[in-house]
Structures are given as C-alpha cells and as structure tokens.
Amino acid sequence: MTAWRCFLSGDLAATSPDWVDEILLRGADTDVCLHSDAPIDRAALRRMVGERQSRLAAAGLGPGGSLALRLPPSLAYVANLLAGWRLGAQVILLDHRLTPFEVDTALERLAPQVVVAPDRTRGGALRMFADVTESVAAHPGRPAPTPHAVIQLSSGSTGPSKVIGRTAADLIAEIDRYTRIDGVPVRGERVVVLASMVHVLGLVGGLLYGLHAGVRIRPPDRLTGDSIIHAVAAEPEPVTVLGVPFHIGLLTSVPDPPALPQLKRMTTGGELVPAATAAAFVEKYRVPLGNMWGMTEVGVIATDLSGAHRPALAPAPGLEVRERAGELLVSRPQSPYVGLSDPTRWADGWLHTRDAGAVDPVTGLVTVKGRLDSQVSVGGLKVDLTEVEATLGALPGVVAAVVLYDGVITAYVQLTSPGTAATVEAGLAERLAAYKRPRRLHVLSAMPRTTTGKLVRDRSVLGQAPREGS
C-alpha cells in the first residue's frame, strides 16, 4: 500500500515523515515545480529540504518535536516547512506580518523547541516570494503536545485567534479532495498563488496540492495588478490565479490588460464576493471567476470553480454539509481546536461553522449567507446585515465596507472618488428600507484587514481606525 493510501486509511502514524517524500516531493528530478526568480526543479527542492533538515536536526529538532516558522512566503519557508515535517515534527505557522508583541504572545502560548525567523529579507514589502536568509534558534519550549502536523492560528477577523491543529492524514485528505474537484489545475498547468502560503488556501490549495499534482507554482514578483498579469503571461501553459477577493480588485484596477490566452480562471476563497465585483472581473478578463468556501479548521469545504451556480457551491468530495437552524455544519471526526476552546464549535462529529446558509434538498448545493450573527432585529423587524453590506459595497465610490450591529446598525466604509458620505447615504436611501439603513456611517481612510486580506469585523479595531480627513 502506498503512503498516500496508508495515510488516508489511518495505517501510518500522524507524524510519520514518509508522506513528505511520497506525496509532495516525488517526481522526476528535472520537473519544474516552483518558480522564484528562476525555475526550481524537484531535485533542487529536495536538496534545499535536505539542507534545512540537517540544520533543524542540529538545533535539536526531532520526531515529535515542535518547530515555529515565522518566515514570509519564500523558498526558505517552503524548504523549512517540508524539512520539519520530514523530521516528524509539528510545525507552527506564524504569519510574518504579526507584530513582535503578537509573535512573543504566540511563542509563549505554543512553546516551540526551535524557531526559524528571518535574519535578512530583501525585495521590499510588495514582493510576493521574498529573498530570505533565515536564522535557526533553539527555544525554551516543549515537544509537540498533540499529534498534529501543523498548527495554525485563525485569521482573527472577528476576535482573538483560535489555535487550530491538523494531522498529516487530514492534510492529505484535503489534497485528495482537491484532486477530485472539477476545474482545479492539473499536471502540466500552472497556478499563480496570491493567497498567503501561511494560511490554508495558499498552503494546501496552492503549495501542497501543486507539489502533489505536478502543477507549477508561480507567485508573481510583486503584489500588483501588472505583476500578476506578467506572471500569467510569462509562460505558455494554462494558468489559474488563486487568491482572495482583495486580489480581484488588483486585477480589475488594471486599465487595459493584454490578451491572456493562458488564463483559465481565477479562484477566490475568503469572504463573499459581491455580484458587481464578480461581474466586473468576468467582463474584463472573459474567464470564469470560481468561488471557494473553506475554513482553517477543515480546508476547502465547497466550490463552484466555473461560476455557474454563484452564489451556491457544491460540497467538496468526501465532505458532508448540513444546515441546522440556519447554520451550516461540516462533518469532521475530531475537534480541530488545540487547548481551551468554545465547546459549542464542535460536537458529535460536526463542526459548527458559525456561517449562516442553506443546503438545497434536491441538488445538495450550499449557499453561504454570511456570518450567523449577521441576523439582527431592529424594532421587531429582521435585518440581514450581509444584505446591507452588499448594498453598501455596490455603491459608486465604495472601496470596502463592514456593517455591524451595536444597538443600532453601524457601517464602516472606505471611499474613493466619486463617493462621499452624502452620496453613500443618498444611495442607501434609494435601495434600502429605512429600518435597514445604518444609523451611523464612519468613513475610514483605510479599512483594517487581517493578514489574509479579510476585512476586520472587530468593532474595537474598527473604532480605533483612522477616519478620513483626520
């Protein structure tokens, strides 16, 4: 039985290192698997992983150990991640954009034995795949307390981050789901990865699936619309762009993009894409805008990569999605949470997503309607804050918007010309009943976002964000 099938059947220990070579690094030496300034073939990647493996072992990391990576997306990040798994260690992923205070808090909370951090980074803030020289240091931590292969922190868009663990078998099961989704890139094609490889969409949907499937992984040089287009056009093979809704804006902002016969589609995860935004992208690039719903706890849950069912999605193979009392639940045999967590988030094999939605009883298609707490009562009348937010986001001049309820409906917006507070209020008066309209409208100079590009919905953070003109 191959390592792939052994892991899926649970016949191998969760921390066995065999899966890295069998599932991620296997292939002909000359096969190009990654692009970072220049093509990287599998022989070169295996050599880089082996060098990092020796260095980590010299720092005291071994089977059952714990390693924290706080590197930006880079060859160093990829090589150290795979090297840690190859040693049978648990790898804790810390976003490189966290503040020193946040990093110190996470290290104290998670207590890794070894920490890999940037020693020198070259290339500027907008560079997508950094040129990094890393440092490896022993840390006064402890061996991995759980059998999880990877530890991630939730994005924190609605509050403090949760600690989420996934075993190697769980990661492999998600890779397997990707292989069975219609419309994903296949061997010989390329994927331009815009989503961060520290977080689940870029990590599994971009890096791990790409390595397994023989899809060439190519981040753009810089996080700009022109650079993304250059990465698409650089080679003749078909390409999928993988990102989040923020990246749609980068591409639609390019005034006159060239013809891109290589471009097959763009696929986005994260928050819901407003219909007007999706239409603007499709009109400009003439390719499908695929939609994907997932969570750090599970990975990909449901997809519509052709855009045919928007806003509905089909559950990913191997997962069951149910609707209970207006909430979407996802099948998951064990709780993904590590340490203290809200016991209402997982029970009896079902993960409570806290997303409102519905499952069509005939087709099985899933429609995600936003956060469950978006349903509020105003004067005895029900208001869906996602409807208010979508209406607000579709108004001319509105770059981004978040709508919350704190006794009254409150909106936070970022505007560009021709948008003003007055035009926004006038537009809402035409489109929404009075009881649905925000009582408070705060115009921010820039909307706070999480490290994954999601809009922050924590009212304390939004309340402290700089106002336009301040």
Domains of the chain plus CATH, in order, are 3-166 (3.40.50.980), 170-373 (3.40.50.12780), 379-464 (3.30.300.30)
The rounded distance, in Å, linking the Cα atoms of 14 and 169 is: 6
User: So what's the pLDDT on residue 157?
Assistant: 42
Q: Cα separations (Å) of 442 from 104, 400, 431?
A: 33, 12, 19
Confidence of residue 102 (pLDDT cuts 50, 70, 90): confident
Q: What pLDDT score does 416 carry?
A: 86
Torsion of CA 437, 440, 444, 449, to 10 degrees: -70
The pLDDT score that the predictor gives to residue 130 is 84
Which residue matches tokens 């753009």? 220
Rg from Cα positions in the chain: 22
Q: What tokens appear for 132 in the block? A: 């990094």
* Closest to 148 in 3D by CA, of 92, 110, 83, 204: 92
Region class of 162: left (phi > 0), else alpha (psi between -120 and 50), else beta: beta
Kindly report the backbone phi and psi dihedral angles of residue 216, in degrees, each rounded to the nearest multiple of 5, phi listed first. -75, 125
128 has a pLDDT exceeding 90: no
Amino acid (1-letter code) at residue 25: L
Band of residue 381 on the pLDDT scale cut at 50, 70, 90: low
Q: What angle do CA 303, 383, 435 make, to 5 degrees?
A: 145
Let me know if 257 is exposed, middle or buried by CB neighbors in 10 A (0-12, 13-18, 19+).
middle
Per-residue confidence (pLDDT) for residue 15, from 0 to 100: 46
Residue whose token pair is 């397994």 = 212
Distance CA 454, CA 157 (A): 7
Instruction: Write down the H helix ranges in 145-258.
Output: 168-179, 200, 209-213, 225-233, 245-252
The mean pLDDT of the chain is 88
Tell me whether the omega of the peptide bond preceding residue 311 falls within 30 degrees of 0, making it cis. Answer: yes
The residue length of the chain stands at: 470
d(CA 401, CA 443): 9
- Nearest partner of 332 among 314, 318, 342, judged by Cα: 318
Q: What is the pLDDT of residue 159?
A: 45
pLDDT at residue 1, rounded to an integer: 38
Between residues 165 and 2, the one the model is more confident about: 165
| Matching residue, tokens 């075993």 | 167
Residue recorded with tokens 């045919």: 308
Lowest-confidence region among 199-213, 244-258, 264-278: 264-278
Q: Which residue has the higher pLDDT, 123 or 59?
A: 59
Model confidence band, residue 451 (pLDDT cutoffs 50, 70, 90): low
Q: Give the residue-averaged pLDDT of 292-309.
A: 92
- Between CA 272 and CA 193 the distance in angstroms is 19
Spatial distance between the Cα atoms of 87 and 116, rounded to a whole number of angstroms: 15
Strands 327-331 and 350-359: antiparallel
Question: Pairing between strand 216-217 and 346-347?
Answer: unpaired
Task: For residues 397 and 393, give the distance between their C-alpha atoms in angstroms, rounded to a whole number.
Answer: 9
Range picked from 21-25, 93-97, 417-421 for highest mean pLDDT: 21-25
CA–CA gap between residue 421 and residue 402 (Å, rounded): 15
Give me the half-sphere count of Cα atoms (radius 13 Å) on the Cβ side of residue 391: 21
Least confident of 7-21, 128-142, 174-188, 435-449: 7-21
- Over 80: is that where the pLDDT of 158 sits? no
Please report which confidence band the pLDDT of residue 380 belongs to, taking 50, 70 and 90 as the band edges.
low
Q: What share of the chain is helix, strand, coil (3-state, %, to 5)?
A: 30, 30, 40
